[in-house]
A and B are shown apart, each in its own frame.
Chain A
Amino acid sequence: MAVYRYPSPLGSEITSEGAYLNRRSLIAGALASIPLLHGVEASAETLKSKPGPFSTDETPTSFMDVTNYNNFYEFGSGKSDPASNSGDFRPEPWTLEVGGLVAKPKTFDLDELRGFDLEDRLYRMRCVEAWSMVIPWIGFPLSALLDQVEPLGSAKYVAFETVVRPEEMGGQRGLFQPLPWPYVEGLRLDEARHPLAILAVGLYGQTLPNQNGAPVRLVVPWKYGFKGIKSIVKMTLVEEQPVSSWERLQPSEYGFYANVNPAVDHPRWSQATEIRIGEGGFLSPGRRETLPFNGYAEQVASIYDGMDLAANY
């Protein structure tokens, strides 16, 4: 595997602790002021976490927007469907099976997943549909989990799979099903081991709401949001590059890499700019320039050295 170096500043170098604490109280305030939201059921638990690296100092998108404007096709293809239709979903108990080309295959239960050293990561999230949010995730580096299962030398990729439960997920029932199930995704092993890549088990200080991919989901902030596969039940280390769900559906529009790239348009819209949800108001929404690798180029660009990013979109 290629050896690369990435700068990994401490959280405290980016954001002063005062500002950080201040932000946390902002978050708590935002939480407290919206008690009755769709699909945010009483079962949400508070999670203990410590500040992690790579957090942005941008203002977090409101809890209301983060939990009510989602793409999660298992609950329907409308943006408000996941919040409205995920009430029957039961994320507990849960198991995540990790196998394939590993020395020590292991099935993790929820306590084990939440038992990793949980960190706060305030990340930008850029959807392929040209909108973005800033989300305070709680999670742990995916590499920490991979270390436990000890990938073999032959393992080159990680393939991910979402749960299939038609009885709890309306989008998986009926005549019209937008995507084949299970939803699948993949990362190159060095991408999966990158310290920016986390498995999130919570946001805004509490366990993940169903519509955000409860109880465990992938967050890879330099890639378009659809790479962040939700409600993961299975991870398999493999040798061949897996085909992801959107790539299979429409290969000319969605690639395997899906790195955020303002220079490569989606065939049906420009990726040069994005609307930051919750900014600027209805009459002048906050459109801003999209940054290469969603602003994480300093950390990740080197792992794609020599690769044609326009061909490998």
Chain B
Amino acid sequence: MIASRVWRSASVWLVYVVGFVPAAWYFYLGATGQIPGNAVKVFEHLLGVWALRFLLVTLAVTPIRDLFGINLIRYRRALGLLAFWYVVMHFSTYMILDQALNFQVIVNDIAKRPFITIGMASFALLIPLAITSNSWSIRKLGSRWNSLHKLSYVIILGGALHYLMAVRVITPEPAIYMAIAAVLVGYRLFFRSRVLAWRKQRRAVAMAR
């Protein structure tokens, strides 16, 4: 019993540790000159793609529980915060390594280039979610916490759109990320209530027998 509780909290920490491996590994490759060409850009892209992956996985936790009965809710906060930290790293790499803190260029980019404006908006919306990702806020905010965290659906669409608009030609990757994001948002908006109602009904029927 105790062992399993220890494993549970340890496994959450494991998610954090494993989650930071891609960033650490590519930072190491970049810093030791093992990424040919424009290492900073490669690093920046990689962080952006991993941010998007963690956002998608975070939002997949609920449908996976609804549809397959697999409960990963314990890891959801870690996954969401990993997404947040990857966006922070992506943004910092862009500002510090890529643009060398040339604020005129950065402000101009954010104001004038729609794909960056959208990325920035998604990042801005992520901040309150990251700040309230703790038990105290959940208790304190009650049902407002749930409403606030519905912003994640706007963020994921924004992130996927930002990716689609950032590339020079449409390749399968950004299209696939956008499709997954759309399915997750669509599930939440249109199907989830039906799935839950159906499950409740089935459970009621089973109990009546």
Contact = CB atoms under 8 A, between A and B. Distances in A.
Nearest to A267: B113
A277 B169 contact: no
Report, as a range, how many residues of chain A touch the other chain. 20 to 34
B171 A77 contact: yes
Interface stretch (A24-32, A160-168, A187-195, A268-276): A268-276
B69 interface: no
Given A269-B109, A270-B109, A80 B169 contact: no
A283 interface: yes
Contact of A270 (B39, B108, B167, B172): B108
B25 to A, nearest CB: 14
B98 A65 contact: no
A25 to B, nearest CB: 23
A145 interface: no
Interface stretch (B12-20, B29-37, B74-82, B147-155): B29-37
Given A268-B113, A282-B30, A176 B171 contact: yes
Given A77-B171, A284-B100, A285-B98, A270 B38 contact: no
A178 interface: yes
B207 interface: no
B111 interface: no
B42 interface: yes
Given A68-B37, A282-B39, A285-B100, 8 more contacts: A77-B168, A176-B171, A268-B165, A270-B105, A282-B33, A282-B35, A282-B40, A284-B97
Interface of A: 64-65, 68-69, 73, 77, 79-80, 129, 131, 175-176, 178-179, 249, 267-270, 272-273, 275, 277, 281-285, 287
